[in-house]
C-alpha cells in the first residue's frame, strides 16, 4: 500500500486536534482511546498503521479489512481515519495537523514497549504528548498488582483476584463516544484503508459488525460450551480470537456478558488473556534457534504436518490452511514440539506468529512459555483419542488417512503391515511406541 506522504491527502491546518492511533482496538463501541480523545475537548482525527512488511499476510488482511470498516464508522461521526506506513509517518502527520496529543491502546510486550518509547521521544521533540489507555484487556497490566509487587505468575491466584475485582468494580463504564459527532473537517481528506486481501482466504468476516454477529451466534449454543469445547471436530468454540486480537470487539463487554450469563468456562478465556498480557512485559525474546541440523529437520516436518503423528500433523495442516487452530490442539502441538521433538520454544512461537490470524504477541508468548515450562508431555496417542475420539478431525485434514477406522487412524504405525497410508509417513519422527 502506498504511503500517505506520496499523495496530497491532507492539508496543513491551524486548528488543534487530538489524534487517536488505532492498533489492536479497531472498533467504535467501548473504545477507551476514543473516549479519552473526546475528553480532551478537541476535534478528533484517527490514524492506523498498515504494516506492509508483515510475515503474517492473513492477519494483515484481517486487520486491513477491519480498519476499512472502522473508517466508515468514524466518517459517520465526522472523524477521518488516515493510513500510515510507519511510526515515522505518524509523526510527520501529527506535526502537519497540529496534533496536541496522540492517544493509543497500550502495548504489553517488551519489544513493543521499546518501540513505543522511541515514538514518545520523537513526538516529544515536537511538543506532542503520547498517552496510552487500556483497550486490549479487561484490566490493565498493573491494575491487579499490589503496590510494590510484581506480575502474577500463578493463574489460579490471578483468577481469584480478577474475579474479586470484577465483582466490585466492573471496568466497562459509560461510553463517552456513544453519542459523539463532529463536523467532518473540510480541509482534511483521508481515503479509507484498502480492504483488499490480495486473494488470501479468510475463514471469517472481519470487523466490528462481524464480531458482534459471531458473538450472538455463539451465545445461541453457549450452554453446551463447557461440555463440547475440547473436541475440535465439533467446532464448538466461540471463534472470537481474531476479533479480540484485532480489537474489533471489547473484552470488557464480553467479560461482563459472559459472567452475567454464568458462562464461567468461557469467561476463563478472557481472564487467561488478561493473565498473559500482564505477564508479557516480564519477558524478552530468546534466540530462536541453535542451528542444529537435526532440529531444522524436525522443525520442517512439524511445520509441514509430516511428523507421522496424525493428530499433530492434522493440527499443523489445519493451521497452515486456515490460519486457525482449536485451543486444545494448540496446547497439544506445543507440548509435542517442546517435549517430544525437544525443539527450542521460540521456533514454535515464531511459526504460530506467522500462521495465526488471531496472533497476539503477548498471548502467543505466554502460551508457548507455559508449554515449555511443563515438566511432562501427555501421552500423544491417548490425547489424540480423547480429543478426536472418532478420528473426524484427522480425516478432515489428512486425506491420506481418510479410509482408516477410529481404532487405527491415530496410530497407523502400529498397523504398518496391514494398512496403506498412501504416502503418509509410516513411522513417527520421534520414535513414539
Tens-of-pLDDT digits for all 433 residues of the chain? 334 443 334 445 568 999 999 999 999 999 999 999 999 999 999 999 998 778 999 999 999 999 999 999 999 999 999 999 999 999 999 999 999 999 999 999 999 999 999 999 999 999 999 999 999 999 998 899 887 788 899 999 999 999 999 999 876 666 778 889 998 877 776 666 665 556 788 889 999 999 999 999 999 999 999 999 999 988 889 999 999 999 999 999 999 999 999 999 999 999 999 999 999 988 776 666 666 777 899 999 999 999 999 999 999 999 999 999 999 999 999 999 999 999 999 999 999 999 999 999 999 999 999 999 988 888 999 999 999 999 999 999 999 999 999 999 999 999 988 889 999 998 999 767 6
Spatial CA neighbour of 26 closest among 87, 74, 90: 74
Superfamily of domain 4-135: HUPs (3.40.50.620)
Contacts of 372 (CB under 8 A, 6+ apart): 334, 338, 345
- Could you say which DSSP state residue 323 is in? S
Q: Do domains 4-135 and 293-415 have the same CATH topology?
A: no
CA distances from residue 363 to 42, 103, 137, 215, 275 in whole angstroms, order as listed: 35, 23, 11, 21, 9
| Domain made up of 137-171+208-283: CATH architecture | Alpha Horseshoe (1.25)
Domain boundaries, the chain: 4-135, 137-171+208-283, 293-415
Q: Which cell goes with 422?
A: 498412501
Annotated binding residues for FAD: 225, 266, 358-360
Q: Which cell goes with 381?
A: 496417542
What DSSP element (H or E) covers 321? helix 310-322
What fold does the segment set 293-415 form as a domain? DNA Cyclobutane Dipyrimidine Photolyase, subunit A; domain 3 (1.10.579)
Annotated binding residues: 225, 266, 358-360
Distance CA 47, CA 39 (A): 18
Q: Which cell goes with 20?
A: 487517536
The helix-helix angle for 208-219 and 57-75 (nearest 10°) equals: 100
Amino acid at each position: 500500500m502506498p504511503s500517505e506522504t506520496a499523495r496530497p491527502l491532507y492539508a496543513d491546518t491551524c486548528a488543534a486536534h487530538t489524534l487517536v492511533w488505532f492498533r489492536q482496538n479497531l472498533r467504535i463501541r467501548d473504545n477507551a482511546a476514543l473516549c479519552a480523545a473526546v475528553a480532551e475537548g478537541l476535534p478528533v482525527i484517527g490514524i492506523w498503521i498498515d504494516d506492509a512488511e508483515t510475515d503474517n499476510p492473513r492477519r494483515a488482511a484481517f486487520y486491513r479489512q477491519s480498519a476499512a470498516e472502522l473508517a466508515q464508522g468514524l466518517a459517520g461521526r465526522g472523524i477521518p481515519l488516515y493510513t500510515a506506513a510507519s511510526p515515522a509517518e505518524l509523526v510527520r502527520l501529527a506535526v502537519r495537523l497540529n496534533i496536541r496529543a496522540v492517544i493509543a491502546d497500550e502495548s504489553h510486550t517488551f519489544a513493543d514497549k521499546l518501540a513505543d518509547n522511541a515514538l514518545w521521544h520523537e513526538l516529544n521533540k515536537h511538543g506532542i504528548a503520547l498517552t496510552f489507555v487500556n483497550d486490549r484487556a479487561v484490566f490493565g497490566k498493573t491494575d491487579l498488582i499490589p503496590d510494590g509487587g510484581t506480575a502474577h505468575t500463578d493463574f489460579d491466584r490471578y483468577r481469584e483476584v480478577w474475579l474479586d475485582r470484577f465483582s466490585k468494580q466492573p471496568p466497562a463504564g459509560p461510553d463517552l463516544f456513544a453519542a459523539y459527532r463532529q463536523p467532518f473537517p473540510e480541509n482534511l481528506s483521508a481515503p479509507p484503508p484498502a480492504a483488499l486481501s490480495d486473494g488470501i482466504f479468510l475463514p471469517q468476516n472481519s470487523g466490528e459488525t462481524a464480531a458482534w454477529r459471531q458473538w450472538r451466534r455463539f451465545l445461541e449454543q453457549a450452554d453446551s460450551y463447557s461440555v463440547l469445547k475440547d473436541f475440535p471436530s465439533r467446532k464448538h468454540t466461540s471463534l472470537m480470537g481474531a476479533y479480540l486480537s484485532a480489537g474489533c470487539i471489547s473484552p470488557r463487554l464480553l467479560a461482563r456478558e459472559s459472567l452475567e450469563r454464568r458462562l464461567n468456562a468461557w469467561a476463563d478465556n478472557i481472564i487467561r488473556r488478561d493473565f498473559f498480557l500482564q505477564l508479557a512485559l516480564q519477558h524478552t525474546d530468546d534466540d530462536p534457534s541453535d542451528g542444529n541440523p537435526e532440529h531444522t529437520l524436525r522443525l520442517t516436518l512439524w511445520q509441514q504436518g509430516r511428523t507421522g503423528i496424525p493428530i499433530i500433523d492434522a493440527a499443523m495442516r489445519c493451521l497452515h490452511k486456515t490460519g486457525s487452530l482449536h485451543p486444545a490442539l494448540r496446547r497439544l502441538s506445543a507440548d509435542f514440539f517442546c517435549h517430544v521433538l525437544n525443539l527450542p520454544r521460540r521456533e514454535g512461537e515464531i511459526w504460530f506468529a506467522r500462521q495465526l490470524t488471531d496472533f497476539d504477541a503477548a498471548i502467543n508468548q505466554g502460551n508457548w512459555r507455559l508449554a515449555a515450562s511443563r515438566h511432562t508431555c501427555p501421552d500423544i496417542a491417548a490425547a489424540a483419542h480423547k480429543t478426536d475420539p472418532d478420528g473426524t478431525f484427522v480425516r478432515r485434514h489428512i486425506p491420506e488417512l481418510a479410509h482408516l477406522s477410529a481404532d487405527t487412524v491415530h496410530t497407523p504405525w502400529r498397523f504398518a503391515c496391514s494398512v496403506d497410508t498412501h504416502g503418509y509417513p509410516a513411522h513417527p519422527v520421534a520414535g513414539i511406541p
